[in-house]
Structure 1
Amino acid sequence: MKKSNLILAIIITFSSSIFGQNTFTLSSKNLGGEATINEEFNGFGCTGKNQSPQLSWKNAPKGTKSFAITMYDPDAPTGSGWWHWLVFDIPTNINELVSDAGNTKLKLAPEGIIQSITDYGTNGYGGPCPPEGHGLHQYIITVYALKTDNLGLNENTNPAVVGYYLWNNTLAKASIVTYYQRSKK
């Protein structure tokens, strides 16, 4: 009986170490499965508060030298989706962005990070604003663990170039998906 308990304990310990590993994870204290008027863009016919959600991440892989965050709508009727937020050169000692950090005028984001231009043509966060009656759009918010201290880009870099540099430097990534739609008025 003692021998079988010892074997069972070894199997449980081994299983926990293999399957219970901590994975790179992104979470939000104020963003749920559907975006709200708080996150909605204020412009293009939308009247939301345009507040970026609070985001936090943990368990970055070994070798991570910086982080980046993007928010992307693949359902936008553009042929190439819509980039709502691009944040990069986030140091590894940072693991959270507070709510509304995407408002560059408020200076809530950690000093030194870069928020480049979105498909709205502005820097910082630009919330959901799908066409009226276009149905649910998904908004993919992703944190990237990067193998470089900085991307060597600036606040005027367009989303396609930022995406290219992210693709070339990503060690791991974690995402949250939220949905939003505008009804016809």
Structure 2
Amino acid sequence: MTINDPFARLPEVPSFTVTSTSVEDGKPLLPAQLSGLFGVPGGQDASPQLSWSGAPDGTKGYAVTVYDPDAPTMSGFWHWAVANIPATATSLPEGAGDDTGSGLPTPAFQLPNDARAPRFIGAAPPAGHGEHRYVITVHALDVEDIGIPTDSTPALLGFTMTTHILARATLTATAETPAA
């Protein structure tokens, strides 16, 4: 079986640094980033804290996405997508992706995720499906406003920003629900 690489068909771009006090690259997500809304005991659906640095000159804005390429669908599962984060932002607090986007800087907005909720939805891999990867990405863009409606899908955000990405910073965390 080939591992689904969400960046395989995208243009190669430089990287910069993203860190988190909520998520450790290559490690399991904590209960705060699991989905109580999808029935995971102790799950809090709190978007992870993110800090970034080293974006290239010419960065005019950012987008943040959280994607599970291992979901049992033909298209993975988008857990969070935020557009129009200003270039002056260098971090998001844990929980910024709540129902109101309370921790997002103006004029950033959340797009509906694959559960059709404009918020962060935590991990909830099906029981016995194996380990899932959660690809958390900060995209440095050459535009302030990506020019999509607030009810767009994360896939449309990804398609629209493909030609505007100057660099990307990524953390990948995991989650697994044991078979019952």
TM over 0.5: yes
* Alpha-carbon distance between aligned partners in 2 of 1:146 and 1:106, rounded to the nearest angstrom: 21
* Alpha-carbon distance between aligned partners in 2 of 1:174 and 1:105, rounded to the nearest angstrom: 25
CA RMSD in angstroms comes to 1.3
Using the size of structure 2 for normalisation, the TM-score is 0.86
Larger radius of gyration: 1
Q: 1:98 is matched with which residue?
A: 93
* Alpha-carbon distance between aligned partners in 2 of 1:90 and 1:145, rounded to the nearest angstrom: 10
Using the size of structure 1 for normalisation, the TM-score is 0.84
Alignment-mate amino acid for residue 118 of structure 1: N
- How many residues align? The count is 163
Alignment-mate amino acid for residue 38 of structure 2: F
1:31 partnered with 2:23: yes
1:125 Cα deviation after fit: 0.6
Q: 2:156 is matched with which residue?
A: 161
1:140 Cα deviation after fit: 0.3
* Alpha-carbon distance between aligned partners in 2 of 1:56 and 1:154, rounded to the nearest angstrom: 26
Alignment-mate amino acid for residue 123 of structure 2: P
Unpaired segments ≥5 residues, structure 2: 1-14
Q: Are the counterparts in 2 of residues 71 and 86 from structure 1 also a CA contact under 8 Å?
A: yes
1:106 Cα deviation after fit: 6.1
Higher helix share: 1
1:30 Cα deviation after fit: 2.0
SS at match of 2:66: strand
1:44 Cα deviation after fit: 3.0
Which segments of structure 1 move beyond 6 Å, counting only runs of 4 or more?
none
| Cα offsets for 1:15-59 (capped at 9, x unmatched) | xxxxxxxx6111101212210211001233323111111001001
Alignment-mate amino acid for residue 24 of structure 1: F
1:88 Cα deviation after fit: 1.2
Q: Are the counterparts in 1 of residues 85 and 106 from structure 2 also a CA contact under 8 Å?
A: no
1:148 partnered with 2:140: no
Q: 1:13 is matched with which residue?
A: none
* Alpha-carbon distance between aligned partners in 2 of 1:114 and 1:142, rounded to the nearest angstrom: 16
